[in-house]
Amino acid sequence: MTNSSLNSQAFSQETGLNQPRLKVVTLTKDTTEKFLNVVKKFNVQAIEYKPFLRFYIANCLNELTDNELGTFLINNLQNRETGAILLECEGASEKDTKSEDFIDFNILLSTAVSHLIGLPNLDSMSGKFYARFSVRNEDNSDSYLRQAHRRMELHNDGTYVQEKTDWVIMQKIIESNVEGGESLLLHLDDWTDLQKFYEHPLAKENLHWSSPSSKNVHYKTTHPIFLDENKDGKPIMSYIDQFAEPKNMEQGLYLYELGESLENDNATYSVKLNEGSMLIINNYFWLHGRDKFTANKNLHRELLRQRGVFAENIN
């Protein structure tokens, strides 16, 4: 599939290799350079301090794409058949990807994207609308987020916060000495055992969810694993293995079996992100995770995430 439905030549879109649900969107070199020129007068601190600037740069990016990029992203993220986008910039690899300028550019780019698709939630871990974090060879943190030598199991984001989490952006900022660690994705409708767990008596039973101290969320939430169906009547999900608090054997075993089923499903596939590229997914019908890395004492990866809501769900 190519640009048949688009008039703009500012970006291209094609279906992901062997994965028809994933759209690969590439901003042309010209678009990337023009966006860089528009945003270079702003620094990251400016967009952190002035929320309206985030919308301004989002609008700049949209205008550079003949006002088509925003609509394209929203349509694909809300379409049950797709809902996942890999966004890349042509020519990014020619830049000094370790420079401060390139890092700032990437923060500005993902901010423009998040404000084209809706509004990011406050990320309690960072106290900002985005969070940057590192994965290194050694880690003593309190969740699997930064731990390199194990697979981070498939999950949805936002299970332990009260806000809706319609979408997630996962952007790779820097990478050095990394082998492995690919992003893992599973679309709910491709999960072989979906009906088995969705029709289970515990599927809609409320569970308690909490998070370790590093997340800075000082309350518990209560919701079932399968939330009320989407407008189209299909199941949507809010699940993560680490933060569910089963209160009895029945709930514990249901969670255990569900986790085992997800981890062993053959429809999970991996996506390699280049520096500067980002995955944007619908959080309610895509599960995501991360494969383990090959040990390397100099391993370093820096990521940026944003999580938020579509415009119709902004309070």
- Least separation, in Å, of the C-beta of 155 and Fe ion? 6
- Least separation, in Å, of the C-beta of 242 and Fe ion? 10
- Least separation, in Å, of the C-beta of 207 and Fe ion? 18
Query: Residue 107 or 281: which CB sits closer to Fe ion?
Result: 281
- Give residue number: closest CB to Fe ion: 157
Q: How many residues does the chain have?
A: 315
Query: Residue 62 or 172: which CB sits closer to Fe ion?
Result: 172
Query: Residue 88 or 157: which CB sits closer to Fe ion?
Result: 157
- What residues line the site for Fe ion (CB under 5 A)? 157
- Least separation, in Å, of the C-beta of 24 and Fe ion? 21
- Least separation, in Å, of the C-beta of 156 and Fe ion? 8
Query: Residue 70 or 83: which CB sits closer to Fe ion?
Result: 83
Q: Calculate the CA 32 to chain-centre distance.
A: 21
Query: Residue 35 or 160: which CB sits closer to Fe ion?
Result: 160
